Amino acid sequence: MDKIKIALIGCGNVGQVIHLPILKKMNDVDVVAVVDPDERKAKAVALRFGIPQTFKTIEALLNSPIGSEIDAVDICTSTDQHKISAIASLQAGKHTLVEKPIARTAKEAKEIVDAAKKYDKKLMVGMNSRFRPDTMILKSFIENGELGKIFYIKSGWLKQQSSAAAWQQQKEKSGGGVFLDLGIVMLDMALWLLNYPEVKTISATSYNQFTKKVEDSCAVFLRLENDVTLTIESSWTFHREGDFFYCNVFGDKGSAFINPLRVFKSVAGNLVNLTPAKSDSQVALFKKSYENELRHFVNAIRGIVPLISSGEESLARMEVVEAFYQSAAKQKEIVLSKK
């Protein structure tokens, strides 16, 4: 089996600490180049991981001899670089993985999605929470009807922002604050768990306690089709001990909770614990989510599995994100127009 040749775009924290160590362990993948405007960083990363070539720009990569050989690119840059990097790679005939969020705006996201369609290449967006073993188990319980009709999901991600991601507070680079960083993950996960119901309305409040240009905390209330309610809270700055990632799902026959995974079902008036016996640590779940995500991307390139977490799905998420910012700015509920 020929190896899939991949180039990593962006040698920041996500690229160095997460993507490269996983890709380098895949027997059917060859990471042939890294791209970063900081030439010293790129060379240091290449030396550390045994990667043969480095480039300062994606254009330099694609115009080089190795550029014609690569099958795919893995984009781990700041969000402002997603559009230019993704469109350039798709135009050059490369399958493309973009770390979340897909772009700063829905308009940018649509341009990327349109390019993938035009050049007939796979476009995947890195929503790794879909690939956590516990969330995949939870989705199977929901799809098998164990919880009955789902009517309410309460979710959140409270996390101290890394000093390495200071660019996220610069709106011109990030496109938005904590909702575009963490909240979109919870939004995507909830809609995926429910098999993508339509978002009917959104009401949002955002706070700038310690930031100037973007929100550092927010609370969101969404009404979905089929009388489902979803709430999301996300923050970089809540005063609490440690990070907190949770998703509580309530149905008319049972309920389930993520982090740690717990599943309960009402049987003949009694609450029965259906939680699987084996439980991975949070570190293991986090690592496996990225391992599963990157493996899925490679398998989708090979045609082994149909692509999930597509660009089209992320474009739909970005339309909800824009409604979030409208609601927070206007301090009113926003009705999302039907297609």
Q: How confident is the model at residue 280 (pLDDT cuts 50, 70, 90)?
A: confident
Residues 190 and 121 in one domain: no
> Vertex 290, ends 58 and 43: CA angle to 5°?
35
Q: Give me the pLDDT at residue 1, please.
A: 60
Residues 98 and 179 in one domain: no
CATH of the domain at 62: 3.40.50.720
* Residue pair 141/274 in contact by the 8 Å Cβ criterion: yes
Q: Give me the pLDDT at residue 161, please.
A: 78
Q: Which domain holds residue 226?
A: 130-281+316-335
Give 326's contacts (C-beta < 8 A, 6+ positions apart): 334
Residue 150 has pLDDT above 80, yes or no: yes
Residues 84 and 186 in one domain: no
How many folded domains does the chain comprise?
Answer: 2
Residues 85 and 233 in one domain: no
Residues 210 and 143 in one domain: yes
Residue 338 has pLDDT above 80, yes or no: no
> Vertex 160, ends 157 and 163: CA angle to 5°?
135
Helix (H, G, I), strand (E, B) or coil at 99: strand
Q: Where are the beta strands (DSSP E) in the chain?
A: 4-9, 29-35, 53-55, 72-75, 95-99, 123-126, 150-158, 199-207, 217-224, 228-235, 244-251, 254-258, 262-267, 270-273, 334-335
Has residue 289 been placed in a domain?
no
Residue 312 has pLDDT above 70, yes or no: yes
Domain end call among 110, 126, 142: 126
* Residue pair 46/52 in contact by the 8 Å Cβ criterion: yes
Residues 20 and 108 in one domain: yes
Residue 337 has pLDDT above 80, yes or no: no
Closest CA to 246 of 315, 326, 189: 189
Give 56's contacts (C-beta < 8 A, 6+ positions apart): 35, 36, 37, 39, 42
Residues 16 and 120 in one domain: yes
Q: Render pLDDT for 248-277 as a digit per residue (tens, 0 to 9).
A: 999 999 999 999 999 999 999 899 999 998
* Residue pair 327/321 in contact by the 8 Å Cβ criterion: no
Closest CA to 7 of 40, 41, 30, 39: 30
Enumerate the β-bridge partners of residue 249.
153, 256
Dihedral of the CA atoms 264, 130, 142, 231 (nearest 10)?
A: 70
Please provide the average confidence, as pLDDT, over all residues in the chain: 96
Q: What is the pTM of this model?
A: 0.95
Residues 120 and 255 in one domain: no
Q: Render pLDDT for 178-204 as a digit per residue (tens, 0 to 9).
A: 999 999 999 999 999 999 999 999 999
Please name the amino acid found at residue 97: L
Residues 170 and 108 in one domain: no
Q: Give me the pLDDT at residue 63, please.
A: 97
Has residue 302 been placed in a domain?
no
Q: Render pLDDT for 5-28 as a digit per residue (tens, 0 to 9).
A: 999 999 999 999 999 999 999 999
Residues 10 and 102 in one domain: yes
Residues 276 and 174 in one domain: yes
Residues 205 and 329 in one domain: yes
Q: Render pLDDT for 49-94 as a digit per residue (tens, 0 to 9).
A: 999 999 999 999 999 999 999 999 999 999 999 999 999 999 999 9
Q: Give me the pLDDT at residue 162, please.
A: 72
Q: How confident is the model at residue 164 (pLDDT cuts 50, 70, 90)?
A: low
CA distances from 318 to 80, 179, 185, 191, 325 (A): 15, 11, 11, 13, 11
Residue 288 has pLDDT above 70, yes or no: yes
Has residue 292 been placed in a domain?
no
